[in-house]
Amino acid sequence: MLDFAKQWYPVGIVSIDDLKQWVKVGYLDKQGFQEVTGIDYVE
């Protein structure tokens, strides 16, 4: 979960558990901020 928290920056999320209740999450990568739908995108 630590790697998950570092790699992903949920929008409006206070805790990782709350992430399950949200559809849109954001993550930072070499291309900058990207928006994806769902949390199944985690690699």
Domain that holds residue 6: 2-37
Number of domains into which the chain is organized: 1
In a domain, 11, yes or no: yes
DSSP state of 8: B
In a domain, 33, yes or no: yes
* pLDDT of res. 6: 52
Question: Do the beta carbons of residue 5 and residue 13 sit within 8 Å?
Answer: no
Could you read off the pLDDT of 24-43 as tens digits, one per residue? 455 544 454 455 555 554 44
Is residue 43 included in any domain, yes or no? no
Q: For the whole prediction, is pTM greater than 0.75?
A: no
Q: Is residue 30 part of a domain?
A: yes
More confident residue, 29 or 15: 15
Share of the chain above pLDDT 90, in %: 0
Domain-embedded: residue 6: yes
Whether the CB-CB separation of 17 and 29 falls below 8 Å is answered with no
- Predicted pLDDT at 8: 56
